[in-house]
Chain A
Amino acid sequence: MSLLQIDNLTVEFETANGWFRAVDGVSILVNKAEVLAIVGESGSGKSVSMLAVMGLLPWTAKITADRMLFEGKDIQALSGAERRKLIGKDIAMIFQEPIASLNPCFTVGFQIEEVLRIHLGLGKKERRARAIELFKQVGLPNPEERMNAFPHQMSGGQCQRVMIAIAIACNPKLLIADEPTTALDVTIQKQILDLIMDLQARTGMGLIMITHDMGVVAETADRVVVQYKGRKMEEADVLSLFENPKSNYTKALLAALPENATGDRLTTVSAFFDGNPEPAPSAGASAPGAQA
């Protein structure tokens, strides 16, 4: 059974010029223990579609989907309280700006214990022990001392480790990482990616990696969805995406990578793509579940 199945998701926002469609008929399928990468530039709707799954969009957004199933349960039909029980426990999310997504007024220890208290109902001592264990797991130095630190006392990489610890606190079945390394240095990016991939391999959770970095996709994903202007351009397993991209947009993206430069100028996406977003025939039929 698939872990998360979304069919024909559309998200619209009302603007002064009428409804703006941020996500246009996107279908996403994640299997257990699978790493799915969603790639696209800013404004491609990759974050918005995941926020819709999490129920984190403002009420002004109009969300419609034929189906939105998590482990066979319909997320859309859940009440607010039921949904809050699911979110943060079975589905967890890591955001792009680690320092901004932690509350600056509370210690990180308090913030991770809050999750353990609300979702697992652990007692005070158990909470503390589990929090320290989680900090150890994500590789924070001096976990006992770190419990009393405030977010501003830590570096970006350390804050991201705390965010990951909070996200995996309840052993989620699905982790959504929204550009988890964009704000970080290359060396720290490597550490964080290694950490996430290691946790994924050990716990066997499903992972959705939202990114605009083709390098991150190449290093992490099993399967890739390419999105552009709210629409799915292509879906393929990672090797065939890089080896033999089908949609023009993916070809353009790969050609724009500096390491693929031929001659002394880069191929720009607009030159290659020429505003012709013909959606590739969905390769989804063959890809899901193909991996071991």
Chain B
Amino acid sequence: MSDTKTIDTMLEVRDIKRDYELPGGFMKPKKTLHAVKGVSFKLERGKTLAIVGESGCGKSTLARMITFIDEPTSGELIIDGKTMDTRPGHLTSEMRQKVQIIFQNPYGSLNPRQKIGDVLGEPLAINTDLSPAERRNRATEMLIKVGLGPEHYNRYPHMFSGGQRQRIAIARALMMNPKLLVLDEPVSALDLSVQAQVLNLLADLQDEFNLTYVFISHDLSVVRYIADEVMVMYFGEAVEYGTRDEVFSNPKHEYTQTLFKATPKADVESIRARIAAKKAASAA
């Protein structure tokens, strides 16, 4: 709590590391894989940090550590001014309620045999002593909040489209009134039209509940739209970290520049340039 001076820091990560032991075999020694090699950042309440990087760069491992799914090998995790004791058995349900995660694939993260109402009511049944009727009310309210309706309460996940399922996953994450939401590629499985709806919903919810987002993505156009701060990860290290405008206007690291170059540009100017280049190539 000592370093919360003027900025209201929601999440602080100090030199966090995660190693995985790869099992050896006969005549093959054990190997250690450094998935995250010492990452530090601070995030203000109500802001969004986007973490960008290619697959295997450790961004999802970082997300799993922030949400206590994985235990960090070393480093400190400070959430809402409190240093988290991430050793197994030392986590209180109160700490867990503050942080929630939304996964990439809404098809895989919902139990196909559980009704939506039960999906949303389950966190309440476990963590609170609300009566079934109250749980039902809360779940219905949340359904309406994320743009679904009370009539969806008794339906199963397969009866929903991808965008609707992602709304359900968001609703489930919000049931315990978390303060920090980790979104692991929440829109990459969605169509462009649905993507816009889900991003708008996330922005609305952030305004309403003053939520802090850690938004993991590899789509730079989405990041540019939603993020306040951007961190670029490459092979387990944060190679670039700054405000959105700093990173987008002046990318310093080589990998960030490659990333920007690789992102398809959908503006008229670049299409013109491409067609002109093609004409020149075919004429030559």
Contacts and interface: CB of A to CB of B under 8 A. Distances in A.
Interface of A: 41-42, 156, 185-190, 193, 201, 212-219, 238-239, 242-243, 252-254, 256-259, 261, 264-270, 292
Contacts of A219: 264-265, 270, 274
Given A239-B272, A252-B193, A266-B199, 18 more contacts: A41-B194, A186-B259, A186-B263, A188-B54, A190-B262, A215-B263, A215-B266, A216-B264, A217-B266, A218-B274, A219-B264, A219-B274, A256-B196, A258-B225, A266-B225, A268-B193, A269-B193, A270-B193
Nearest to A255: B196
A246 B219 CA distance: 27
Q: Which of A253, A254, A256 has the most CB of B within 10 A?
A: A256
Given A186-B219, A258-B221, A292 B192 contact: no
B203 interface: yes
A239 to B, nearest CB: 5
A268 B262 CA distance: 26
A159 B283 CA distance: 34
Contacts of B22: none
Contacts of A256: 192-193, 195-196
B166 to A, nearest CB: 14
Tell me the interface secondary structure of chain B in the complex: helix
A268 B197 CA distance: 6
Contact of B162 (A42, A213, A216, A264): A42
A41 B192 contact: yes
Interface of B: 54-55, 162, 191-197, 199-200, 203, 218-222, 224-226, 258-259, 261-268, 270-272, 274-275, 278-279, 281-283
B262 A258 contact: no
Given A189-B262, A264-B203, A258 B224 contact: yes
Given A186-B219, A186-B263, A201-B281, A257 B192 contact: yes
Contact of A238 (B221, B225, B271): B271
Contacts of B195: 256, 258
24 contacts: A41-B193, A42-B162, A42-B191, A189-B262, A190-B262, A193-B264, A212-B191, A214-B192, A218-B264, A218-B265, A218-B270, A219-B265, A219-B274, A238-B275, A239-B271, A242-B266, A242-B267, A252-B193, A257-B221, A259-B267, A268-B193, A268-B200, A269-B193, A270-B197
Contacts of A156: 55
A134 to B, nearest CB: 23
A69 to B, nearest CB: 26
Q: Which 8 A-B pairs have the closest CB atoms?
A: A215-B264, A269-B193, A190-B262, A258-B225, A41-B191, A266-B196, A256-B196, A185-B54
A264 B203 CA distance: 8
Nearest to B261: A190
Given A256-B195, A270-B197, A218 B271 contact: yes
Contacts of B278: 201
A268 B267 CA distance: 19
Contacts of B282: 201, 292
A234 to B, nearest CB: 15
A41 B193 CA distance: 8
Given A216-B264, A258-B225, A186 B218 contact: yes
Contact of B221 (A188, A212, A259): A259
